[in-house]
Amino acid sequence: MTLSRLQRNKLVWLWGYRPADITAYGFDDGRPAADAGRYLGSDWNRRFVQDVVNDPRNHVLTEHKWVFYRFADGFGLPVPPTIGFFDSVQGTTWDGERPLRTVPQVLAELDRVRPTGLVVKPAGGGQGAQITILDRIDHATGTATTRTGEETTLERVFAALDPGGERGVSGYVLQHAVRNHPELAQLAPTTTNTCRVLTTVATDGTAHVHAASIRLGRRGGMIDNWGSGGVSIPIDVATGVMGPGILKGVPGDLTEHPDTGERFAGRELPLWQETVELCRRAAVLFPGLRFLGWDVVIGPDGPMLLEGNVHWSLRGSQMLAADGWLADPDTRERVEGLGVPLPTGRVSRQVAAGVLARGRDRARRVARRVGRTLTSR
């Protein structure tokens, strides 16, 4: 049954959905509008959950990658081996002893360290944007091969970087490439495969893991993100067992990796309890941030934190919950335990605030479009 215009408007204005939510959760494919309360709308989540329980003044602890790695390392949390921070003003090596402000300085440091593989990621990046991964480097000649098989040179890689960085944050983090645990390499050997683990910190200071998934990359891709073609798979938090996965643009569930043919559904992840404990430990160490999504690489020697995310993908997490994220009483209880309101489908103070905020957002977008039109004339 197709949703009426009124039903769609209710999902947007009363439940805090975005149009993409309506499609992603199956409301365009016959899911009844009465199921709206089973899912947390992306707009509601952004305005009344994530941006409330995660103090904006502390976002830099996770959203600036260089700050994140330094902060996590300071607590002894395992992170990928980091070479330094390339920035035209404040670039420096990991030990702070040598500047990394110019391409020649970066090339000299790489010649000194001689990594077998290299990851170059923008300090303000997200969703894999502008990441370059070099799997092979010939330090004698400066030539390199990217994860997608492109032949290049170290000088060309760094000369091509946008000095403005990503999301208005300048600079790039340089890291050694990390390896998958052999069991994960067997499933998907061509990318670094990461787990997304969602944690909340209760008012008594205890950390809880209430959802998890893993992304398995595809052949020819640089990263494992679902939006970039990776397979997204739910993980049972208690056992570490993977369920059926989803692939963007492909209807139905997957039980095997489309490239390797290896079955993942029903398979237990290696070192899962260690992964859960690492995320619980990290969750209580980042002040003012109580609802985070951790990207974790399970390597041969154990799990390590690849990223912490304030604005993690709610939609991606909920698409893996067949009955709806908030239909699970434990998840609902933990979200409500953060002290935030959940939508009820009725007009409320939060709904009114959301309507006003959407109006302001729309006015800003119109103003920007008008400004661009005028300046282009």
Tell me which of 18-32, 122-136, 283-297, 334-348 is least confident. Answer: 122-136
Q: What is the pLDDT of residues 55-98, one digit of tens each?
A: 999 999 999 999 999 999 999 999 999 999 999 999 999 999 99
Q: pLDDT band at 134, cuts 50/70/90?
A: very high
- The two beta strands, 143-146 and 132-138, are antiparallel
d(CA 44, CA 186): 39
What is the rounded (10 degree) CA torsion for 99, 105, 107, 109?
-40
Q: pLDDT band at 139, cuts 50/70/90?
A: very high
Q: Pick the more confident residue, 246 or 77.
A: 77
Q: What is the per-residue DSSP string for 12-37?
A: HHTS---HHHHHHTTGGGT--GGGGG
Query: Percent of the chain beyond pLDDT 90?
Result: 68
User: Average pLDDT in the 100-120 region?
Assistant: 96
Q: Pick the more confident residue, 223 or 141.
A: 141
Q: pLDDT band at 362, cuts 50/70/90?
A: low
**What is the three-class DSSP state of 343?**
coil
User: Average pLDDT in the 201-227 region?
Assistant: 86
Q: What is the pLDDT of residues 316-360, one digit of tens each?
A: 889 888 788 899 898 898 889 899 999 999 988 777 776 677 767
CB 275 within 8 A of CB 269: yes
CB 154 within 8 A of CB 137: yes
d(CA 203, CA 165): 36
Amino acid identity, position 316: G
d(CA 296, CA 275): 8
Domains of the chain and any CATH numbers: 5-52+346-376 (no CATH), 81-176 (no CATH), 181-309 (3.30.470.20)
Question: Considering the entire predicted model, what is its pTM?
Answer: 0.90
